[in-house]
Amino acid sequence: MASVWNNRIHVSVFGEAQGPAIGVTVDNLPPGEFIDVGQLHKFMERRQPGIHEGGEFMQIMSGILNDRTTGSPLCAFIQNHDVVIPDVKEQLGRLPRPGHADYTGTLRYRGFNDIRDGGHFSDRLTAPLCFAGAVAGQILERRGIYTGAHILQIHNTKDKEFDSVNVTKEDLLAVRYKAFPVINSRQGSRMLKDIRAAADGGETLGGVVECVSINVPAGIGSPLFDGLENTIAQLIFGIPGVRGLEFGAGFATAKMVGSQCNDSFYVNEHGHVKTHSNMHGGILGGISSGMPITMRVAFKPAASIAQPQQTVNLSTMEEEAISLQECGASCAVPQSVPVVEACVNLALLSHMLDYPHFT
């Protein structure tokens, strides 16, 4: 399985949703970095509040000693408590669920893949990814680089956007630990109402997460295949359910003329080169411009719906109906917010290691 990401920092995610444990190994972190374990816990709690109570928090096996990174691989895992062997295992093996990776995974791994609760394709594997990105985030924030995200849209309800030019650290932190991470609480209430209505009807909803990184120095990244966008995208598309990613003005630039899309330069009061607008989303030619790095990530509706669906019996190759016993989360977008941040943190840190004044 392609569960290893190697771009200066080496990240390997392991385990299955219903296996004994899931975890991550992170190699090539700079040594001597202070890591606040309590803050790691808070970051993980944002992904799924309460899930880490009772011993489910990531158990750090190596790589941190006396709250400092040692330079050796950082390894951590979560034990999967109350693992069950569902009676539907055989059924799912021959009846692939629409919207899931049952069918494609069976083809790719010749039927030997673990299909229990999605196995290695499950969004539970975002927990170790979240942990790795939380560590990277602490290293970056000690250097003044902050990444924050919020729910921009659920179904047809939209939140206010971050100011792509003047967003501040305070703006990002104001949303970070909200129970429902939106800027406009009234819009958040409407989103929650929509989610509850979908759940009552056995349906699920998708949405969009907006993410911004500030104080990234100009000149970070590379052209062509090692650009900041490339690195961020590779990690973002490792999150189950992601179906789109755009930077800056994104697809809206296709409707613009050049004079609307280009961001004019100026020198600010500190002698730094900035742009009046930020259509480019803080990245030009794969390299950071010094402006806020802005992006939006689109998530499809969660695939587990509580409604009968049509599939194909892989044993008989005949069409057949399948009905799941219960629906999973009616909307996975809220818990995806810290995971998006984590991916961006890892991407930024990997490029920052090349920065001359990083250490």
- pLDDT at 291 (0 to 100): 98
- pLDDT at 305 (0 to 100): 86
CB atoms within 10 A of CB 10: 15
For residue 286, what are its two tokens? 């794969």
78 compared with 285, residue with greater pLDDT: 285
Instruction: Kindly report the average pLDDT of the chain as a whole number.
Output: 90
% of the chain with per-residue pLDDT over 90: 68
Residue 249 has pLDDT above 60, yes or no: yes
Give, in order, the Cα–Cα distances in Å from 293 to each of 182, 242, 265.
19, 19, 16
Neighbouring-strand partners of residue 34: 68
Using CA atoms, how far apart are residues 288 and 71, in angstroms rounded to an integer? 27
Residue 90 has pLDDT above 80, yes or no: no
pTM, two decimals, is 0.92
Q: What is the pLDDT of residues 268-281, one digit of tens each?
A: 999 999 999 999 99
Flag the least confident range among 30-34, 168-172, 351-355: 351-355
The Cα angle at residue 278 between residues 226 and 295, in degrees rounded to 5: 55
- pLDDT at 304 (0 to 100): 84
pLDDT mean over 96-120: 76
% of the chain with per-residue pLDDT over 70: 90
pLDDT mean over 10-38: 91
Q: What is the pLDDT of residues 276-330, one digit of tens each?
A: 999 999 999 999 999 999 999 999 998 888 888 899 988 888 888 887 755 567 8
* Dmax (CA) of the chain: 72
pLDDT mean over 106-130: 77
Contact between 42 and 53 (Cβ < 8 Å): no
pLDDT mean over 97-114: 79
| pLDDT band at 54; cut points 50, 70, 90 | very low
Residue 1 has pLDDT above 60, yes or no: no
CATH number of 4-352: 3.60.150.10
pLDDT mean over 254-258: 97
Residue 111 has pLDDT above 80, yes or no: no
pLDDT mean over 346-353: 97
pLDDT mean over 129-149: 97
